[in-house]
C-alpha cells in the first residue's frame, strides 16, 4: 500500500494583490474627495444657520367656561371633534333664566306705563295752573268791584275783607298749581317715553336677562378641535367653571429652545424650516421667526435656580424662540400641540430687529353682539304699552 500525498493548493495569480491595493487606494481617494467636497460646502459655501431639536409645537388653547350658573342638559361636541365658530357646544337648563326674562319684560311694560302716566300728570298740572290763574283773575276782579262799592257805602267792610281773602286764597292756589306742574315736568322734561330714565333702566334689566338667557346656550368661540372636555350631563356648574377647550389647529407655532450661544445671529423675520417627528423628513414646514422670549426657561420657572451657592455649576441656558408656521401647510399636514420637531433658522439675513415688535392686530374669537331679536322685542313691548 502506497501513500499518496495531497496535491498542493493552486497558487494565487501574481497580479491580485496589486489590484486589491489599487482598489483600496482608489476607494480612499474617493472618500477623501467626498470629505473635502462636504467640508467645502459645509464650512465655506453652506448658508449660515442655527438648528435645535429642543423644539415643540404650541398653539392657543381657547377655554370654554360657564358665564352663569346652571345645570348641563345637553352636550353637542366631544374630544377630538372639529367645530366651527358659533356651533353649539353645551346647553344649560334655561327655566330660571326664562322666568327672569319674563319678569324683566313685565318690569319694562310697567315702566313704560308709569312714564306715560307721568306725561299725563304734566298735562293735568298744566290744566290746574290755567284753572288757578282764572280763579285768581276772577277773585281780583270781584275785589276791585267791591272796593268801588265800599267807597260808595254799598257793601260792608266785612264783605270787602272776605273778597280780599279770596284773592289771597286764589293766589296761593296758583302758586301750588305751578309748583305741582314743575314737579311733574321734572320727571319727564327733555325725554320721551323711550328715553326716560325709568324706561332705560328697565330696558337695561331686560337686556341683562336676555344675555343671561343666551348664556344657557354655549357655542364655540373659534374654529378648532375640542379638547379637555370636563363637562358632564346633569352637572351643576358655577360661573367660571371650565367646561372644555377648543384648539385652533390652523394657527400653530413652534417654540424652539435655542442655546444662548446660538442667539448671536438670530433676528426677527428670518426664515425657518421645521421637520416634525410625526411625519419625518419627507414633509418640511416653512415659517418665520416672530419673536424671542424675554428670558430663559430657568428665569420663568416655578422654582428658579439659586446660583449663589458654593456648589454652583455653569449650565448653558436656553431661550425660547417662536416660529410661526404657514397655515396652508398646516391645512395639508395637520400638527398637534406638543409634538416634537427639529427647527432650523436661516441666519444669513441679519437685517431684522433683535427685540420684539409692537403688538399687532388682536387675535379675536367669536364676539357676541347685540341680538336684533332682543332689540325688536324691546321695541314691541314699548309700543304695546305706550
**365: three-class secondary structure by DSSP:** coil
Question: What does the pLDDT read at residue 35?
Answer: 87
Question: What does the pLDDT read at residue 104?
Answer: 95
Higher pLDDT, residue 114 or 323: 323
34-43, 47-56, 104-113: segment of lowest average pLDDT: 34-43
Residue 14 has pLDDT above 60, yes or no: no
For 327-341, the pLDDT digits (tens) are 999 999 999 999 999
Looking at mean pLDDT, say which of 75-89, 152-166, 354-368 comes out highest. Answer: 75-89
Say which residues have a Cβ less than 8 Å from residue 246's Cβ, sequence separation at least 6: 62, 64, 83, 220, 221, 222, 224, 225, 226, 227
- Average of pLDDT values for 267-290? 93
| Confidence label for 141 from pLDDT (cuts 50, 70 and 90) | confident
Higher pLDDT, residue 378 or 368: 378
Instruction: Give me 276's grid cell.
Output: 416634525
Higher pLDDT, residue 275 or 5: 275
- Average of pLDDT values for 125-149? 80
Q: What is the DSSP string of 1-49?
A: ----PPPPPPPPPTTHHHHHHHHHHHHHHHHHHHHHHHHIIIIIISPPE
Higher pLDDT, residue 59 or 194: 59
Residue 46 has pLDDT above 60, yes or no: no
For 96-135, the pLDDT digits (tens) are 999 999 999 999 999 988 888 777 777 777 888 888 888 8
Looking at mean pLDDT, say which of 19-23, 113-117, 137-141, 267-271 comes out highest. Answer: 267-271
Torsion of CA 61, 67, 68, 69, to 10 degrees: 10
Residue 86 has pLDDT above 60, yes or no: yes
- Average of pLDDT values for 202-206? 94
For 87-102, the pLDDT digits (tens) are 999 999 999 999 999 9
Query: What Å distances lie between residue 319 and 109, 173, 277, 292, 303, CA to CA?
Result: 62, 86, 22, 7, 17
Mean pLDDT of the chain: 85
Question: What does the pLDDT read at residue 285?
Answer: 95
Q: Which of 286, 274, 298, 244 is CA-nearest to residue 79?
A: 244
Q: Which of 89, 369, 75 is CA-nearest to residue 220?
A: 89
Question: What does the pLDDT read at residue 220?
Answer: 94
For 250-266, the pLDDT digits (tens) are 999 999 999 999 998 89
Q: Please tell me the number of Cα atoms within 13 Å of 122 on its side-chain side.
A: 16
Question: What does the pLDDT read at residue 271?
Answer: 94
Question: What does the pLDDT read at residue 1?
Answer: 47
Question: What does the pLDDT read at residue 356?
Answer: 73
Higher pLDDT, residue 254 or 177: 254
125-129, 169-173, 182-186, 241-245: segment of lowest average pLDDT: 182-186
Question: What does the pLDDT read at residue 43?
Answer: 65
Cβ–Cβ under 8 Å, residues 344 and 273: yes
Query: What Å distances lie between residue 23 and 14, 37, 144, 280, CA to CA?
Result: 16, 21, 149, 37
48-52, 138-142, 322-326: segment of lowest average pLDDT: 138-142
Q: How many helices (H) and strands (E) does the chain have?
A: 6, 14
**Vertex 193, ends 188 and 197: CA angle to 5°?**
60
Strand partners, 246: 62, 226
Amino acid at each position: 500500500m502506497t501513500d499518496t500525498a495531497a496535491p498542493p493548493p493552486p497558487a494565487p495569480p501574481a497580479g491580485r494583490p496589486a489590484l486589491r491595493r489599487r482598489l483600496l487606494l482608489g476607494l480612499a481617494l474617493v472618500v477623501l474627495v467626498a470629505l473635502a467636497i462636504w467640508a467645502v460646502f459645509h464650512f465655506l459655501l453652506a448658508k449660515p444657520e442655527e438648528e435645535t431639536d429642543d423644539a415643540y409645537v404650541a398653539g392657543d388653547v381657547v377655554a370654554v367656561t360657564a358665564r352663569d350658573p346652571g345645570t348641563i342638559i345637553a352636550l353637542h361636541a366631544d374630544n377630538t371633534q372639529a367645530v366651527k365658530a358659533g356651533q353649539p357646544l353645551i346647553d344649560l337648563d334655561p327655566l330660571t333664566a326664562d322666568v327672569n326674562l319674563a319678569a324683566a319684560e313685565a318690569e319694562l311694560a310697567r315702566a313704560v306705563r308709569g312714564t306715560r302716566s307721568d306725561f299725563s300728570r304734566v298735562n293735568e298740572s298744566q290744566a290746574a295752573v290755567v284753572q288757578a290763574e282764572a280763579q285768581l283773575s276772577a277773585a281780583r276782579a270781584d275785589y276791585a268791584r267791591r272796593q268801588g262799592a265800599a267807597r260808595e257805602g254799598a257793601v260792608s267792610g266785612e264783605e270787602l275783607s272776605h273778597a280780599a281773602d279770596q284773592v289771597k286764597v286764589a293766589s296761593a292756589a296758583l302758586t301750588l298749581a305751578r309748583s305741582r306742574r314743575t314737579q311733574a315736568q321734572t320727571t319727564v322734561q327733555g325725554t320721551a317715553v323711550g328715553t326716560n330714565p325709568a324706561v332705560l333702566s328697565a330696558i337695561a334689566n331686560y337686556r341683562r336677562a336676555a344675555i343671561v338667557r343666551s348664556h344657557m346656550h354655549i357655542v364655540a368661540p373659534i374654529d378648532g378641535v375640542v379638547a379637555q372636555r370636563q363637562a358632564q350631563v346633569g352637572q351643576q356648574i358655577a360661573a367660571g367653571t371650565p367646561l372644555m377647550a377648543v384648539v385652533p389647529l390652523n394657527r400653530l407655532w413652534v417654540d424652539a429652545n435655542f442655546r444662548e450661544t446660538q442667539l448671536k445671529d438670530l433676528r426677527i423675520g428670518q426664515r425657518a424650516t421645521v421637520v416634525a417627528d410625526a411625519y419625518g423628513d419627507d414633509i418640511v414646514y416653512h415659517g418665520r421667526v416672530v419673536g424671542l422670549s424675554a428670558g430663559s426657561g430657568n428665569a420663568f420657572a416655578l422654582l428658579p435656580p439659586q446660583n449663589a451657592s458654593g456648589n454652583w455649576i455653569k449650565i448653558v441656558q436656553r431661550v425660547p424662540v417662536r416660529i410661526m408656521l404657514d397655515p396652508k401647510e398646516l391645512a395639508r399636514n395637520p400638527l398637534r400641540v406638543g409634538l416634537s420637531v427639529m427647527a432650523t433658522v436661516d441666519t444669513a439675513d441679519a437685517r431684522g430687529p433683535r427685540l420684539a415688535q409692537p403688538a399687532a392686530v388682536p387675535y379675536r374669537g367669536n364676539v357676541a353682539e347685540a341680538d336684533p331679536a332682543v332689540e325688536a322685542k324691546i321695541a314691541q313691548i314699548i309700543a304695546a304699552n305706550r
